Amino acid sequence: MLFCLTSLSLTNMDVLLRVLLSLSALAGIHSITTVSKVSVRAGGSITIPCLYESKYINHVKYLCKGYYWNSCSYAIKTNQKKKKFSISDDKILKIFTVTINHLTKEDTDYWCAVEINGGGDEGKYFKLSVTTNTPSLDISNQEITGSTGSPIAINCNFHNSGEMKWCRLGGSCLTKSGSINGTGFTISANVSGVFTVTMSELRTESSGWYLCVKGDLQMPVHISVTENNPNKNNSKDQDEHVPVDLKAYTIPLSLLIFIVLVTVFIWFMLKRHKQTKEAASTVTVAEEEITYSTVTHKRNTSSQSSPAESAVDVVYSSVIPMKQQHVPKDEANDKNVTYSTLA
């Protein structure tokens, strides 16, 4: 009888603790949204997204470790950096993410939390199921990238039972096919131990955190959708529209201008040197002037001479070239040439 009462008391105690746990987190249930239970491998790492309300944008966010909300301890805050934990806050999407590295058996109970100035903090509990074997629900990569207009497929590997779902964090869930925020989804399980989620009609708004769900386990997946350029494969169109980077041509153009200037300068100096040489040769030739000797005129006095023979006889002396002396120009004009009187 005592044994039965003891067993009943322990059972009631466990139920009471769970009720208290639920009541302690009741205030934060509608303020913060995150996963409930995630299966992870020991020694690995996991990133957990925590969605919060707009009123908490400028509040400090943190990860709290422990099973009970009232006694959990700070693991990391948004204004801290640690080796074991990392945290980042996207105030546009209103999601802060926490990453837990080097997972061990002690990394089981955590809370996504927000500090409230002048009041009680808000928190949402999640559990990590750490195993040395293959996780019951896993994905090869938590970060998946796609482009607008192109479909992508996400493979969720599982080793547990339960219904398969694909959910958007803080949004609706699908079990077979449908649309979430304008993006089409199809769930198929053609391979044993794997269910595949195919996303079509991708848009940039499709980016965000999603959850692979199987039974009571969830695995967060982040989808990044980038703009797809329809002319990406048309190299001709790309060449016509790609802007020219003038900075890339600055140095070659400057070098070309410098070479042209040097070439013009050398050509000018050679031409000037040639002109100077030709001028020097002309001056040398011009320095030689011609000086005539005295011109003598004789009249024929013979009485028997005919009128033609009585014409004046003119006798010229030889012409002697002389070097010009370096005298002033005016003096040279007056002295270097001597004219005789013609009678």
Domain harbouring 42, CATH code? 2.60.40.10
In this predicted structure, what is the pLDDT of residue 282? 63
**Are 219 and 159 in the same domain?**
yes
In this predicted structure, what is the pLDDT of residue 38? 97
In sign, the C-alpha dihedral spanning 5, 11, 15, 18 is positive
Task: Provide the whole-model pTM.
Answer: 0.60
- Beta-carbon contacts of residue 174 (< 8 Å; ≥ 6 apart): 165, 166, 167, 180, 185, 187
- Going by C-alpha positions, the residue among 87, 113, 91 that lies closest to residue 100 is 87
Residue 301 belongs to a domain: yes
In this predicted structure, what is the pLDDT of residue 272? 83
Residue 254 belongs to a domain: no
* Full pLDDT tens readout for the chain, 343 residues: 434 434 444 445 444 444 444 444 444 345 899 999 999 999 999 999 999 999 999 999 999 999 999 999 999 999 788 999 999 999 999 999 999 999 999 999 999 999 998 888 999 999 999 999 999 999 999 999 999 988 999 999 999 999 999 999 998 899 988 888 888 899 999 889 999 999 988 889 999 999 999 999 999 999 999 988 655 555 444 444 445 566 667 778 888 898 989 898 898 888 888 888 777 766 555 555 555 555 555 555 444 444 444 444 555 555 555 555 554 444 445 545 455 544 3
Residue 186 domain boundaries: 137-226
Q: Which of 226, 259, 278 marks a domain boundary?
A: 226
DSSP string, 219-235: EEEEEEEE---TTTT-H
In this predicted structure, what is the pLDDT of residue 187? 94
What is the number of structural domains in the chain?
3
